[in-house]
């Protein structure tokens, strides 16, 4: 095991646990680096590890026709990857691809299940997070159906900024088109509209969010709804 500070709490789920339960779980974890574009699971893979991001963030992708993929959720330091194990299913329902480089705590699926069995506070906390994950997927489905590309792009940029913990990040039009399930020209038009309003700056794949409030105003209400659900369900948690 990697030597790791027992009171580490950069992951919000772990931070919500009492000290004893948190330290008990962290002792079973390795500290690893998440590298951009690494695929942690593919659809149908056996889930061998659970991840608690502490710096990086992960896109949850579902396959479409002709090799295309659509992002239906993100996991950053607010959550965990591997929630299907809470339902006693060890088959990955989505592709999990690293979207932002950074660190994570990783625990084997076997050790994770053992911790759930002897740590009722962890079990209670993660059931709440599972509810949030299901809600996020449902909200993403509705968003794809009823909101225009500019609103959806603004929402996606807000979600990404929250998990990147930075106003600046690198992302191409092609990747954004994949994440939102739209044509590249649609992303180009939406990003250009946000740039003309001095909300973002975009050059050669480098995005800087200049006006966070303006971006929130440009986004559909899905972003705020998801934030409210997280805060409502996770506070108080235990």
What pLDDT shows up at residue 158? Answer: 97
pLDDT of 122 reads 95
> What per-residue confidence (pLDDT) applies to 63?
87
Which pLDDT tens digit goes with each residue over 41-84?
A: 999 999 999 999 999 899 999 988 777 788 999 999 999 999 99
- Tell whether the model's pLDDT for residue 9 goes beyond 70: no
pLDDT classification of 6: cutoffs 50, 70, 90:
very low
**pLDDT at residue 32 is higher than 80:** yes
Look at residue 7 and tell me whether its pLDDT is greater than 70: no
Contacts by 161-166, CB closer than 8 A, 24 or more apart: 161/209, 161/212, 162/76, 162/78, 163/53, 163/57, 163/74, 163/75, 163/76, 163/77, 163/78, 163/100, 164/57, 164/76, 164/100, 165/55, 165/77
> Which pLDDT value is given to residue 67?
73
Alpha helices in the chain (DSSP H): 12-15, 19-26, 109-118, 120-146, 149-164, 173-180, 184-196, 212-218, 222-234
What is the average per-residue pLDDT within 101-113? 97
Q: How confident is the model at residue 5 (pLDDT cuts 50, 70, 90)?
A: very low
Angle at CA of residue 101, ends 58 and 111, nearest 5°: 60
Q: What is the pLDDT of residue 79?
A: 97
Structural domains in the chain? 12-143 (2.60.120.10), 148-219 (1.10.10.10)
- For the chain, the maximum distance between any two Cα atoms, rounded to a whole number of angstroms, is 55
User: 193-229 pLDDT, tens per residue?
Assistant: 999 999 999 988 899 999 999 999 999 999 999 999 9
**Is the pTM higher than 0.85?**
yes
Output the six-digit token pair for 135: 């809600």
Q: Which whole number is the average pLDDT over 20-31?
A: 95
Q: Given a cut of 60, is residue 4 above it in pLDDT?
A: no
Give the model's pLDDT for residue 223.
96
Strand order in the sheet with 57-63: 39-41, 95-100, 57-63, 69-75
pLDDT at 10: 87
Residue 8 has pLDDT above 50, yes or no: no
């Amino acid at each position: 095991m990697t030597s790791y500070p027992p009171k580490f709490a950069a992951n919000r789920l772990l931070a919500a646990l009492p000290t004893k339960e948190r330290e008990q779980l962290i002792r079973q974890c390795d500290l690893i680096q998440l590298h951009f574009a690494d695929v942690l699971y593919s659809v149908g893979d056996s889930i061998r590890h659970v991840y608690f991001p502490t710096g990086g963030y992960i896109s949850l992708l579902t396959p479409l026709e002709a090799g295309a993929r659509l992002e239906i959720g993100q996991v950053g330091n607010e959550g965990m990857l591997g929630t299907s194990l809470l339902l006693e299913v060890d088959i990955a329902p989505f592709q999990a691809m690293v979207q932002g480089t950074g660190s994570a705590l990783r625990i084997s699926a076997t050790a994770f299940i053992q911790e759930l069995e002897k740590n009722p506070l962890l079990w209670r906390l993660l059931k709440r997070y599972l509810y949030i994950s299901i809600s996020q997927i449902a909200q993403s489905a509705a968003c794809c159906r009823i909101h225009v590309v500019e609103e959806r792009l603004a929402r996606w940029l807000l979600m990404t900024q929250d998990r990147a913990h930075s106003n600046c990040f690198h992302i191409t039009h092609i990747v954004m088109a994949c994440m939102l399930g739209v044509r590249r020209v649609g992303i180009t038009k939406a990003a250009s509209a946000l740039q003309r309003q001095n909300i973002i700056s975009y050059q050669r794949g480098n995005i800087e969010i200049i006006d966070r409030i303006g971006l929130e105003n440009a986004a559909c209400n899905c972003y705020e709804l998801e934030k409210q659900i997280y805060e409502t369900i996770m506070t108080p948690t235990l």
